[in-house]
Amino acid sequence: MGLNKSIFFEKYNVTVSDLETYLSEALSRGGDYADLFFEYRINHSIVLEEQIIKSATKGVNLGVGVRVISGEKTGYAYSDDLNRDNVIKAARTAAFIANTAPQGGKVSVPSPLDQARNLYPIPVFPADLDIARKIALLEEADRAARAYDSRIKQVQASYLDETKHVLIVTSDGCAAWDLQPLVRMNVMCIAEEAGNRQSGYQGGGGRRALDIFTGDLDPGAIARESARQAVLQLGAVDAPAGPMEVVLGPGWPGILLHEAIGHGLEADFNRKKTSAFAGLIGQKVASELCTVVDDGTMPFRRGTLNMDDEGNPTHQTVLIEKGVLQGYLQDRLSAKLMQSSTTGNGRRQSYDHIPMPRMTNTFMMSGESDPQDIIKSVKKGLYAVQFGGGQVDITSGKFVFSASEAYMIEDGHVTAPVKGATLIGDGPTVLRQVTAVGNDLKLDQGIGICGKDGQTIPVCVGLPTTKIQEITVGGTEK
């Protein structure tokens, strides 16, 4: 990976003996388990707006989080630097949660290991490249968006990269480090015509070098797609209101899975029996056409990790197989308390946050239908191909996701574009209404941000063209 040792050893002079001291302090009041999460993260961003480079930004985040688990209780503290005294202080603060007889003795830490596999092998990190190359990407996007249509009046293009070094050391003998790249571009356009103003958005990225910005993710392609959506909306009619048949296009509409079932299958909610999915393992929750997977091991994807933020390797986890609910997304704490094993889904926003079960790349496997045949089979319905965000109430199971590009389907033909509208459904039952799954699985282009308990992390979703017999569409046209 270009480095023989973690940066925390190379640059910050952390030693194995320091790690042993910190973990011993963390367990000084008892406690079943302790871990350390070291993070050094550099972010760069550049914004082009009104045809000039408005700003460039750099961020440095360095710190270490100390977690102590005692039964179901978690104590957490962190330090914003790697100063030995401050880390020891954090370890003692986290230790406060436990109030049992200390085991005594020193915690022994092996020499931290590099990852056995690398799911994001890249020759050069975007962070290390000259800023001029990144500016050129934005300028190309701006030109392409403006050239797409004279009604495009505003273009905002942004570039972001992240380089994240992590080192995770646990009291039960795991010591591993990773170096995680992430890059992204976004283009937002405003189209105007006779006082009607509409916006379009497209983005893309992944855990890759700048060579990711080719093909569908070429800056010009991203920009033209953003401009196309803005111009299209100028002619959109009111969206329909009420329950109807809906066909979801491939790719980013996979946000349906993320909201409808993904969050509800996170183990913490099921351990506490606060999820609408609690106790449904082994039951049929979806049509036989549905097989849904969370896979943190897909090379270069936004939701991919060599190891999760608790040091466990990521996995491919089947959530639903041919309609039957298979399992939960586990982190260490829930797996232990549920006498299960971790699925490598323990993630956190950064060193100042406690890890919890989270998704990685979540998608439905391709089916056998031809996407064109699926559309032809609909007499009257909605064809939704682009979405904004979504949200779920995991306890009631009700979820929403908001279409930003959708069309009416009339007698098997895609017709008028409609304005944005929210779709609302019930997680444990919506997939029972899936009546066709296309053979065209596509993952999103690398734009997913998932929020839970105030922590945001990068994720990816995917879907083949999918027909749902009935879901409520929240437009205004009755």
Partner 1 sequence: MSDLLATTQQVIDRAKLRGSSAADVLIREDNSFSVTVRMGQVETLKEAISRSLMLRIFVGKRTATSHTSDLTPAVVERLVDETIEMARLTSEDESGGLPDVAVHRNNFPDLRLLDPSWEDLTPAERIDLATRAERSALATDKAIANSEGASFEYTRSQVALANTLGFNGAYEGTGAALYCIPIAQSKEGMQRDHWMSAARHRNQMESPEDIGRIAAERTARRLGARKIPTGEVPVIFDALSARSLVGHLFEAVAGSAIYRRSSFLLDQIGKSIAADEITIVDDALMPAGLGSSPFDDEGVPAALTPIVENGILKNYLHTAYTARKLGGRPTGNGSRAASGVVTIGPTNFYLKAGKYSPEEIIRSTKRGLYVVELIGFGVNTVTGDYSRGAVGIWIEDGRLTHPVQEVTIAGNLREMLKNIEMVGNDVMFLGSIAAPTLKIKRMVVSGA
Measure the CA–CA gap between 404 and 418, rounded to whole angstroms: 9
Of 456-475, binders to partner 1 (CB under 8 A) are 472-475
Distances (CA, A) of 218 to 212, 343, 384, 402: 8, 34, 24, 26
Residues in the interface with partner 1 (CB under 8 A) total: 77
Closest CA to 201 of 417, 383, 387: 387
Q: Kindly tell me which residue out of 178, 295, 352, 444 binds partner 1, with binding defined by CB under 8 A.
A: 352
Measure the CA–CA gap between 399 and 262, rounded to whole angstroms: 11
User: Is 392 a binder of partner 1 (CB under 8 A)?
Assistant: yes
User: Is 449 a binder of partner 1 (CB under 8 A)?
Assistant: no
Query: Interface mask (CB under 8 A) for partner 1, residues 122-141, using x and -?
Result: ---------xx--x------
Closest distance to partner 1 from the beta carbon of 292 (Å): 21
User: Is 43 a binder of partner 1 (CB under 8 A)?
Assistant: yes
How many other CB atoms are found less than 10 A from the CB of residue 118? 13
Closest distance to partner 1 from the beta carbon of 86 (Å): 9
Looking at the Cβ atoms of 49 and 114, the one nearer to partner 1 is: 49
DSSP state of 253: G
Measure the CA–CA gap between 350 and 454, rounded to whole angstroms: 12
**Which region, left, alpha or beta, applies to residue 453 given φ > 0 means left and ψ of -120 to 50 means alpha?**
left
User: Is 77 a binder of partner 1 (CB under 8 A)?
Assistant: yes
Question: 256 by DSSP, 3-state: which?
Answer: helix
Q: Please, which residues bridge with residue 151 across strands?
A: none
Q: Kindly tell me which residue out of 254, 425, 446, 464 binds partner 1, with binding defined by CB under 8 A.
A: 425
Closest distance to partner 1 from the beta carbon of 14 (Å): 14
DSSP tally for the chain: helices H, then strands E: 10, 22
User: Is 53 a binder of partner 1 (CB under 8 A)?
Assistant: yes
Of 140-169, binders to partner 1 (CB under 8 A) are 153-154, 156
Of 97-116, binders to partner 1 (CB under 8 A) are 97
Of 190-229, binders to partner 1 (CB under 8 A) are 190, 192, 197-199
Element (H, E) at 372: helix 371-376
Of 226-245, binders to partner 1 (CB under 8 A) are 239, 241-243
Structure-derived torsion over alpha carbons of residues 230, 235, 237, 243, reported in degrees to the nearest 10: -50
**Which region, left, alpha or beta, applies to residue 234 given φ > 0 means left and ψ of -120 to 50 means alpha?**
alpha
Closest distance to partner 1 from the beta carbon of 239 (Å): 7
Q: Please, which residues bridge with residue 474 across strands?
A: 241, 422
User: Is 401 a binder of partner 1 (CB under 8 A)?
Assistant: yes
Q: Kindly tell me which residue out of 10, 72, 211, 373 binds partner 1, with binding defined by CB under 8 A.
A: 72
Closest distance to partner 1 from the beta carbon of 89 (Å): 9
Looking at the Cβ atoms of 341 and 396, the one nearer to partner 1 is: 396
Of 258-317, binders to partner 1 (CB under 8 A) are 272-274, 276
E-assigned strand segments in 50-151:
52-70, 73-79
Q: Kindly tell me which residue out of 76, 177, 363, 383 binds partner 1, with binding defined by CB under 8 A.
A: 76
User: Is 57 a binder of partner 1 (CB under 8 A)?
Assistant: yes
